[in-house]
């Protein structure tokens, strides 16, 4: 039974990461496209910047969540 619980937790972890990745990159694309259309006609500077920011934020959240879930060190704990 424990194997099923572990598999479900890992599946949820991976699924949550990919959903978060798609949403943040999608938001970055549409917001960047809107900003670029206000400033320039055919440049896509903010699209690339905000997609990259969405990608970085997803990987940062993956890292933080994996430390919490799989027993990473807590910065607030004092070592004896």
pLDDT tens digits along 23-66: 999 999 999 999 999 998 889 999 999 999 999 999 999 999 88
Q: Which domain holds residue 52?
A: 8-68
Q: What is the reported pTM? A: 0.75
Is position 23 within any domain? yes
Per 3-state DSSP, the chain is made up of helix, strand and coil in percentages (nearest 5) of 80, 0, 20
How far lies 13's CA from each of 4, 39, 65, 71, in Å?
14, 39, 9, 14
Is position 77 within any domain? no
Is position 34 within any domain? yes
Sign of the CA dihedral with 11 first, then 15, 16, and 21 last = positive
Sign of the CA dihedral with 59 first, then 61, 65, and 68 last = positive
Is position 2 within any domain? no
Is position 19 within any domain? yes
Number of domains the chain contains: 1
Query: Tell me: the pLDDT tens digits for 64-77?
Result: 988 887 776 666 66
CA 70 to chain centre: 18
Is position 80 within any domain? no
């Amino acid at each position: 039974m424990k194997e099923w619980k572990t598999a479900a937790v890992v599946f949820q972890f991976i699924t949550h990461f990919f959903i978060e990745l798609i949403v943040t990159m999608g938001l970055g694309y549409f917001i960047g496209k809107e900003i670029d259309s206000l400033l320039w006609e055919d440049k896509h500077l903010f699209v690339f910047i905000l997609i990259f920011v969405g990608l970085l934020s997803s990987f940062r959240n993956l890292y933080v969540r994996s430390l919490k879930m799989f027993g990473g060190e807590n910065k607030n704990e004092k070592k004896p």
